[in-house]
Amino acid sequence: MQGLFFEADAGPLVAIRVIVLFLGFWTAWRAGKAVAEGWSDYPLVIVYTFLLAWAMQFLHHALFNGPMLNAFYYILDFVTLLVFSTAGFRYRRTNQMVNNYYWLYEKTSAFSWKDKH
């Protein structure tokens, strides 16, 4: 029983990494959604994702002793987070366009709309 709590087990570390990963994805989704809710343009999503990727790099460094200034991992974080922030932006913008301009547009998918004919 003694070794159950005091051995160097990878389980808790993996759990913390997964939590940080999901927090990053959720924050990216919310950042994209927030830009859309403010009726701002897509380049602001890229700026927010750039900053969020830097914050995630810091968390990886601070919590897991990962590299702080590594271009490969930063680009990997940025691209992954950009997928989620773009999805949040497009999802919210589609709902805005379809709900606010229901006489002009109809939803074609969760991320796109088209003109009504």
- Angle at which helices 43-64 and 71-100 cross, to 10°: 140
Task: Look at the block and give the residue holding tokens 């914050």.
Answer: 55
d(CA 97, CA 63): 41
pLDDT, tens digit, 9 for 90 and up, residues 12-68: 667 777 888 899 999 999 999 999 999 999 999 999 999 999 999 998 888 888 888
The predicted model scores a pTM of 0.84
Domain-by-domain residue ranges, the chain? Answer: 15-115
- Residue 105 has phi, psi (to 5 degrees) of -130, 150
Give the SS3 label for residue 88. helix
Asked if residues 31 and 55 have their Cβ atoms less than 8 Å apart, the reply is no
